Amino acid sequence: MQILHRVLRVTDIDASLAFSGAIGYRVVSRVLRAAIGDLTLLNLPDDEFVAMAGRVTPTGSPDPRRRG
């Protein structure tokens, strides 16, 4: 599997997955409790690439990409 994607930060993963599924995306993999939060990887049915990732950061956790 190759990864070529954008990461979307979401607060409601269930609503995001329902929307993504309605427009044709499917869940390829999930990474729970990663250092940056929970990740869900999605792609389109005939695509070999992961096209999108949904990221849920635990409430109150700082964004690790921000400094200061």
Sign, CA torsion 16/40/51/4: positive
* pLDDT range class, residue 18, cuts 50, 70, 90: very high
Give the pLDDT mean for 36-62. 76
Q: What is the mean pLDDT of the chain?
A: 77
DSSP states along 35-53: TTEEEEEEE-TT-SEEEEE
Give the pLDDT mean for 19-23. 92
- Class assignment of domain 2-56? alpha beta
Q: What pLDDT is recorded for position 19?
A: 92
Task: With beta carbons less than 8 A apart as the criterion, state whether 1 and 28 touch.
Answer: yes
User: How many angstroms from the chain centroid is the CA of residue 28?
Assistant: 10
Q: What pLDDT is recorded for position 35?
A: 76
